[in-house]
Amino acid sequence: VVLSEIFANILQDPNLKSTCLVVDALDECEVDLPKLLDLIVQTSSISPRTKWIVSSRNWPSIEKGFDRATQKASMCLELNEKSVSAAVTTYIKSKVNWLAERQEYDIDTRDAVQRYLSSNAHGTFLWVALVCQELTSIPGWEVEETLSAFPPGLDTLYMRMMEQISTSRTAKRCKSILAVASVIHRPIILDELPSFVDMLPRISGNYKALAEIIGHCGSFLTLRDRTVSFVHQSAKDFLTNTAVEIVFPSGMAGTHYAIFSRSLQVMSLALRRDVYCLRAPGITIGQVKQPDSDPLSAVRYSCLYWVDHLLECQSTEDTIRDLKGSDQVYSFLCQYFLY
């Protein structure tokens, strides 16, 4: 609430120049979407110098959220197919030029790539981006023979990526990472990843190695500022629907249980009285300085969401039986929950 008020005051500052605020993929906001919609609607009318540009899937709940906006203009891309197609064509030319320079394509290879992308993109920017990303790892002399391996349509492309992962040396680890990424309640950082996926101890904290491991997960995931997230909501949808049996051999409830169980383990190892060595119980949170080697960085997600995963894993009889026969929750609450 306080941050929203500060933001609104900034927008009303008479010294503020013309400002355009852009929010992409509003439908991918999984936490507090109604609050974000309210913020956009409320602030859209308080300053004539401020404009919002918002993109989203055609979700009725989002459209209804914007009903209260007094000044708005909407555009449905499905009804502007020619404009979208022209934009995708421009994007293809740009990506092909980038690939040709980076991979040193000859003229024939460059033209073949452009023809294939233009014929199979079907107005989808993401498909073009994913194919081009895959082409960066293929030698120029092999590209023309490989193009047909990239089928049109996102789901078919995702399935090809999944098949490649399944036959790779790192298949088990990559599937574990994808499973965890699919059920967590917020994107996790690299420090938190080893808490939920089996890795060698020396890899924890080795950001270069962790980034390479994420790179082995096809193009499903992206890494930005050490935060692991999906390249697009459609990638997550594919894993939790079409490929659910591949990614979740023990079911999604099994992954929730694994995250819950491992969360208790890592928290039990990391949590202790005065973990930041403040030695001053009356210190305010604003005075707390995180140490360079933050003992909570690897367990921050676990501290916030372990109970959520406990609730979501209780949908199978095996899980319920394991929980009833174990005192791990009771022991954690008694020994580590409060200090």
Angle between helices 107-120 and 125-135 (to 10 degrees): 150
What's the gap between Cα 189 and its chain centre? 10
For residues 144 and 123, give the distance between their C-alpha atoms in angstroms, rounded to a whole number: 22
Helix (H, G, I), strand (E, B) or coil at 315: coil
Let me know if 84 is exposed, middle or buried by CB neighbors in 10 A (0-12, 13-18, 19+): middle
DSSP label at residue 32? S
pLDDT digits (tens, 9 = 90+) for 98-119: 999 999 999 999 999 999 999 9
**Band of pLDDT at residue 31, cut at 50, 70 and 90:** confident
Work out whether strand 227-230 and strand 188-189 pair parallel, antiparallel, or are unpaired: antiparallel
pLDDT digits (tens, 9 = 90+) for 250-283: 899 999 999 999 999 999 999 888 888 888 777 8
Work out whether strand 227-230 and strand 221-224 pair parallel, antiparallel, or are unpaired: antiparallel
Q: Is the pLDDT of residue 291 over 90?
A: no
| Sheet bearing 221-224, strands edge to edge | 188-189, 227-230, 221-224
Q: Is the pLDDT of residue 94 over 90?
A: yes
Q: Where in the chain is the domain with CATH 1.10.10?
A: 159-247
Tokens of 99: 């690939």
Given this structure, which CATH class describes domain 159-247? mainly alpha
For residues 264 and 303, give the distance between their C-alpha atoms in angstroms, rounded to a whole number: 9
**Band of pLDDT at residue 208, cut at 50, 70 and 90:** very high
For residues 98 and 150, give the distance between their C-alpha atoms in angstroms, rounded to a whole number: 19
Inter-residue contact 96 to 110 (CB < 8 Å) = yes
Helices (H) and strands (E) in the chain, counts: 16, 5
Q: pTM of the predicted model, to two decimals?
A: 0.77
